Structure 1
């Protein structure tokens, strides 16, 4: 895949937007992810992602895409890769979330805008604004508890 010059900035936007969700996803033991993925229980992984995302985003904004991978060996810590979709209004981001023992990373595979602008910088700004509009405000979360 040829990386576009604006890919790094979009990855940073997505990574920043989902950092709280990643914290919630890390509450699940790596062994559970390995089991669910190896046994192809992706509906369970989808439920986990949905539960973590509902704390921070409007319903349906962040969801599991087509699955994931569990990379496990005798010599290295496990590496969980989840195929995710971020769908704020007007844009869809297809990306991989990589969870490792001491870090997490986002790799954006494709971004689709409903009404793309010819200027990639305008599209990147739109992405950031759309994500912000789809976030649940912390005061709203506190009030619902």
Structure 2
């Protein structure tokens, strides 16, 4: 898939939106990802993604896309690549999240808008706004003594 010309700016938007989810996904033992991927148990990986996403996004906003891959060699650190779909209202983002021991990275492959503007920057602003609107806002409730 050819990258769109505005992908770098949108990668920043997506990375900022899913930072907390990526941190949750990195809590899973890499051996579990490797086992699920090698055994082609993509439903298990999808469950992991869905469980991490439900803490931060409205249901159905983030899900596993068409696959994932484990990059494991004798001489290097393992990396897990997850093809993901972000589906906030009015847009769909197809991207790859790469997880490693020390960090996570995002590569946006394609963004589709239901009602795109002729202005790519307006589309990017819409993407940022709709992702923010899809987030679950948690507030701390005070403890009640009594």
Please tell me whether residue 101 in structure 1 is matched to residue 101 in structure 2: yes
> Radius of gyration: which is bigger?
2
Other structure's SS at 2:59 match: coil
Structure 2 counterpart of 1:57: 57
Unaligned runs of 5+ in 2: 142-146
**TM-score normalised by L of structure 1:** 0.93
Structure 1 counterpart of 2:120: 120
Query: What CA deviation, in whole Å up to 9, does each residue of 1:47-105 have, x standing for no partner?
Result: 00000000000000000001100010000000100000000000000000000121110
Give RMSD over aligned pairs.
Answer: 1.2
> Which structure 2 residues correspond to residues 1-145 of structure 1 after superposition, within 5 A?
2-139=2-139
Query: What CA deviation, in whole Å up to 9, does each residue of 1:100-135 have, x standing for no partner?
Result: 121110000010000011110010000000000000
Higher helix share: 1
User: What is the alpha-carbon distance in structure 2 between the residues aligned to residue 52 and residue 3 of structure 1?
Assistant: 27
Higher relative contact order structure (alpha carbons within 8 Å, sequence separation ≥ 6): 2
User: What is the alpha-carbon distance in structure 2 between the residues aligned to residue 88 and residue 116 of structure 1?
Assistant: 14
Q: Which runs of 4+ in 1 moved over 3 A?
A: 1-5
Is this contact kept in 1: 2:4–2:110, CA < 8 A?
no
CA 75–105 in structure 1, closer or farther in 2 if over 3 Å, else same: same
Unaligned runs of 5+ in 1: none
